[in-house]
Amino acid sequence: MSDLLREKNVTEAVTAAKNTVYEWLQEFSAFFPKVKNSQKVYYKPQAVKVLLAVEQM
């Protein structure tokens, strides 16, 4: 699980405002590779690439 990212790490990887990134994570959740462990959600590194693509739209 060391290669998985928390939501905070994912939001810091893009230049958009954090609240905007949180909205994108909810709105486009089907496109973000993620893993649930109990109550915590971890994102795979590919999620950053998807966020960067959304940011360019």
Report if residue 1 sits inside a domain: no
- Give the number of residues written for the chain: 57
Count of domains in the chain? 1
In a domain? residue 48: yes
Q: Is the pLDDT of residue 4 over 80?
A: yes
In order, the DSSP letters of 1-57 are: -TT-B-HHHHHHTSSS-HHHHHHHHHHTGGGS-EEEETTEEEE-THHHHHHHHHHH-
What is the distance between the alpha carbons of residues 28 and 1, in angstroms, rounded to a whole number? Answer: 23
Is residue 2 assigned to a domain? no
- Does residue 34 fall inside a structural domain? yes
Domain of 39 in residue numbering reads as 7-56
Q: What is the pLDDT of residues 5-56, one digit of tens each?
A: 998 888 888 888 989 988 998 888 888 888 888 888 899 988 888 888 888 8
Which pTM was predicted? 0.74
Q: What is the pLDDT of residue 13?
A: 86
Structure tokens at 19: 């609240």
